[in-house]
Copies of this chain bind each other. A is one copy, B any other.
Amino acid sequence: MGASGKRPGGRSARVRDAVRQATLGELAEHGYAGLTVERVAERSGVHKTTVYRRWGSVEGLISDALELARDEPWPIPDTGTIQGDLRGIVQLVRSGFADPELGPVSSAFVAAAVQSPEAARALHEFFVARHDQSAEVVRRAIARGDLPDVVDVREVIRVAVAPVYYRLFVAHEPVTEQDADRAADAALAAARAGVL
């Protein structure tokens, strides 16, 4: 055993990271429909039987990649105004899906979750964390006195980002920067009106 054997979990963590990176790489290139345990094993350099034993299936690989993505910090905007912050969040969502590397991976997560209950549970947990992180901009607005303190902070985030996802994954329409700003502004208007 090498030096890493002295630190419990060191080798295991490296294997997990290699498999996760290979999963993300395969998703970026081939999407969810093209993801196989064999390809992830080959790309990661981890033996196929190890991948099957620890991750079980394609759904297990997706769930693990999402679990790690969930724990990564997200660059929550801090522009000084709730309008600027909400627009910033919705633009992050829009630009993320438009990104040639990140976009296909994020889309693959959405596609996996509509087909696999295990992936749906993992994506749900991801969004629980994401909503809570993003809601910080609404909490700050309440603290500044910009919004009433009865506002449902997570619902403001849901309503702000929902039209972007709706266009991309339901109605299959393009999303412009203007569409994204308008979605953010609509959520803010509803929050100000006391609806959210």
Interface residues, chain A, with chain B CB atoms under 8 Å away: 32-33, 107, 110-111, 113-115, 120-121, 123-124, 127-128, 131, 155, 158-159, 161-163, 165-167, 169-173, 182-183, 185-190, 192-193, 195-196
Contacts and interface: CB of A to CB of B under 8 A. Distances in A.
A189 B193 contact: yes
Contact of A189 (B107, B163, B189): B189
| Most chain B CB neighbours (cut-off 10 Å) among A159, A171, A193, A196 | A171
Contact of A172 (B33, B120, B188, B190): B120
Contacts of A186: 159, 186-187, 190, 195-196
User: Majority SS of interface residues in chain A?
Assistant: helix
Contacts of A33: 115
Of A33, A113, A121, A158, most B-chain CB atoms within 10 Å: A158
Given A124-B171, A158-B166, A166-B166, 11 more contacts: A123-B171, A123-B172, A155-B182, A159-B163, A162-B165, A165-B169, A165-B170, A169-B170, A186-B187, A186-B190, A192-B193
Contacts of A190: 185-187, 189-190
Nearest to A116: B33
A162 B163 CA distance: 5
A186 to B, nearest CB: 4
A123 B168 CA distance: 12
29 contacts: A32-B115, A107-B114, A111-B115, A113-B169, A113-B170, A115-B115, A121-B172, A123-B171, A123-B172, A127-B171, A127-B172, A131-B171, A158-B167, A159-B159, A159-B162, A159-B163, A159-B186, A162-B163, A162-B165, A165-B170, A182-B195, A182-B196, A185-B190, A186-B186, A186-B195, A186-B196, A187-B190, A189-B190, A192-B193
Nearest to A125: B172
